[in-house]
Amino acid sequence: MRMLRVAACQIDPVVGDLDGNADRIVSAWCAADRAGCELAVTPELAVTGYPPEDLLLKPRFVDDNLESLDRIARATRNLQCVGVIGFVDREAERLFDAAAVIERGVKLGVYRKHLLPNYAVFDEERYFEQGPLTQRVFRVRGVPVAVLVCEDLWQPEPAQEAARSGASLIVSLNGSPFYRGRLVEREQVVAQRARESGCPIVYVNQVGGQDELVFDGASMIVSGDGTLRARSPQFVEDLLVVDVEVAVSTNGEHPEPDAEHAGMVDGEMAPDGHPGVADLLDPDEEVYEALVLGTRDYVRKNGFTDALVAMSGGIDSSLVAAIASDALGPDHVHGVGMPSRFSSEGSWLDAEEVARRLGIDFRIVPIEQVHAAFLSTVGDQAREGAVGDQASHGAITLAEENLQSRIRGVIIMFLSNQNGWIVLTTGNKSELAVGYSTLYGDTAGGFAVIKDVPKTMVYDLCRYRNRRGSAAGGEDTWVIPESILTKPPSAELRPDQRDDQSLPPYEVLDKILEAYVEEDVTVSELVDRGVDPALAGRIARLVDLAEYKRRQNPPGVRVTPKAFGKDRRMPITNGYSGRRHDRPHT
């Protein structure tokens, strides 16, 4: 038996920041060396950041990535610790998602990813060639170590081949994005691969936000019997240092592993002498933390310091303001209320109260004069196209409703331009799914924080955030007042407007949307599940018609298994209805 001290370097790289990523890798590797580690493992494509997407089509970018790997090797040549570093390898014109094994400045060899995911948000076959299934096993201080990359661990063959090749330990480099419940799935897969191969597995995942993706980290060490022995916390950078006991054969046969081992977490021995297993976050907490991290990294990695939120006193904008405050700090968040003649006094008092409890800047910019000026300018054209009661009784037209939202969009973009603040939009997944939003109005902005959060989940997240309390303290223990949680949802663009006048209750709508959007069922299948045929057809039609709007929306954090955007790529021009065709064939 042999004890091998291993470090899982859970870092937050920035796509394309080759110099910065090299510094992050060297820093983590040096910290692992100071902790007495013999092996340090980084996430997948740590040099380039993951996913680099079409940067890979630039030959110079690939050249620079290779130069960065050489720089990392030179910077660590005096370390005793061996490093496994994710990078882009090249052979002729072919690219590979790869990992280099480096010892004292020398590249011992390279592993090339065998399985390339080409589903959901992944399109690696667009860029990379497949590495061979059978690849070399590296000896690290006498221990045979196999290297796998991400998808390689989701199918049995690569890990089994590593064991057949004599590996006593498997290290896996990962760029596995978060969605709700994903960590449980990962741990089940890693445990299964460990049992099948008989090898302990060091699973290293990156952390941080990259456009709409969030990586939650949660790197782990699993023993050869599938037992979880150590786990990094979610959503923060971490150096997980563990002494892994592995079996080393002297006769060339693959030995039976011993699951016992001791270890350290972040360089400090746990009280019982064993590595720490960070607690799992509950479902609402992990989604909330994903939204916070995704917002923080998008804002800061793109060079902004402050964010602006249009606050209406509704539940969506209140949640976005809370997330922004937690992500950037209250001093870097600015709320603006833009009341019209249809805005209730209670709504703006609620918005002010949320801002006060969060400790953020808040200002009021009324839009009534601007709205009146617009209507006066267009004159009689404001009534053109109005039909029925709208035309005969002077009721508020849909165009006039949307004009208010578009005026607000102009104002918030002016404030953004004037102050250099990024605008965080407030639309949720339920609204965006059915097009219950105004193009160039409430969709105007730089980042859509809750665009993948269904309305029913919005309420859950608000209640979770209230349980954490507010900075104001005292009686103001809730960030989001009860009045906001209980008021009927409304856009307040016409007198007495409520969402349920246009949409079914969100408890009903969200279940239909989950089936139609995330499970890809058809209208006929919705009906088979008990949904009223007229309602099923109407909601499906609204989702399909709103595709052109969603294409123009800003990116936002992905927290469900299928988000609008990379996950779901539906044609805008689409003649498929999904209804059952009962006409006989002729």
Residue 464 in tokens: 């979770």
Cα–Cα nearest to 36, from 257, 193, 243, 278: 243
The answer to whether the CB of 538 falls within 8 A of the CB of 487 is no
Q: Which domain holds residue 141?
A: 2-279
Least confident window among 104-108, 175-179, 214-218, 373-377: 373-377
Identify the domain boundary among 227, 245, 279: 279
User: Does residue 316 share a domain with residue 435?
Assistant: yes
Which pLDDT value is given to residue 267? 35
Higher pLDDT, 389 or 244: 244
Q: Do 106 and 192 have their domain in common?
A: yes
pLDDT at 391 over 50: no
Angle formed by the axes of helices 59-75 and 18-34, nearest 10°: 20
Position 132 in a domain: yes
Q: Tell me: the pLDDT tens digits for 223-268?
A: 999 999 999 999 999 999 999 988 876 544 444 433 333 333 333 3
Number of domains making up the chain: 2
Q: Is the pLDDT of residue 359 over 60?
A: yes
Tokens of 186: 């990962």
Specify which residues 263 forms β-bridges with: 242
pLDDT digits (tens, 9 = 90+) for 105-156: 999 999 999 999 998 888 999 999 999 998 889 999 999 999 999 999 999 9
Contact predicate 386/398, CB 8 Å: no
My answer on whether 417 and 473 are in the same domain is yes
Give the mean model confidence (pLDDT) for residues 164-176: 96
Whole-angstrom Cα distance, residue 231 to residue 202?
10
Task: Please indicate, yes or no, whether residues 60 and 137 belong to a single structural domain of this protein.
Answer: yes
Q: Which helix (H) or strand (E) holds 61?
A: helix 59-75
CATH number of the domain residue 419 falls in: 3.40.50.620
Task: State pLDDT tens for residues 413-425.
Answer: 999 999 999 999 9
Catalytic residues: 44, 113, 150
Partnered with residue 163 across adjacent β-strands are none
Whether residue 433 sits in one domain with residue 331 = yes
Nearest to 559 by CA among 435, 448, 450, 433: 450
Query: Do 23 and 39 lie in a common domain?
Result: yes
Q: What is the pLDDT of residue 573?
A: 84
List beta partners, residue 551.
none
Whether residues 304 and 228 fall in one domain: no
Task: Tell me: do 265 and 290 sit in the same domain.
Answer: no
Find tokens 């291993």 and name the residue. 6
Angle at 456 between CA 455 and CA 458, to 5 degrees: 60
Determine, yes or no, domain membership for 54.
yes
Establish if 552 belongs to a structural domain: no
Of 402, 426, 429, nearest in space to 509 by CA = 429
pLDDT of residue 263: 31
Do 187 and 68 have their domain in common? yes
Whether 213 contacts 246, CB under 8 Å: no
- CA pair distance 284, 4, nearest whole angstrom: 37
Domain boundary among 476, 499, 522: 499
Q: Nearest 5°: CA angle at 273, between 272 and 274?
A: 95
Specify the amino acid at residue 79.
L
Q: Is the dihedral of CA 143, 149, 153, 158 positive or negative?
A: negative
Compute the residue count for the chain. 586
Last residue of a domain, one of 460, 478, 499: 499
pLDDT in tens, 301-319: 999 999 999 998 899 999 9
- Tell me the CATH number at 226: 3.60.110.10
Flag whether 477 is in a domain. Answer: yes
What does R_g of the chain's alpha carbons equal in angstroms?
A: 27
Strand pairing category for 94-103 and 82-91:
antiparallel
Does some domain include residue 344?
Answer: yes
Model pLDDT, residue 520:
93
* Residue 51, domain member (yes or no): yes
> Residue 567 has what pLDDT?
86
Which position has the higher pLDDT, 469 or 160? 160
Residues 131, 155: contact at Cβ < 8 Å? Answer: no
pLDDT in tens, 60-111: 999 999 999 999 999 999 999 999 999 999 999 999 999 999 999 999 999 9
Residue 65 lies in a domain: yes
Residue 328 and residue 391 share a domain: yes
Q: Say how many C-beta atoms besides its own lie within 10 A of residue 278's C-beta.
A: 18
pLDDT at res. 491:
57
> Which of residues 480 and 396 earns the better pLDDT score?
480
pLDDT score at 67: 97
15 phi/psi in degrees, rounded to 5: -55, 125
The predicted structure's pLDDT at residue 195: 96
Average pLDDT (9-16) is 97
Instruction: Mark whether 268 and 319 lie in a shared domain.
Output: no
213 and 329 co-located in one domain: no
531 in a structural domain: no
* Surface-to-core class of residue 117, CB atoms within 10 Å of its CB (0-12 exposed, 13-18 middle, 19+ buried): middle
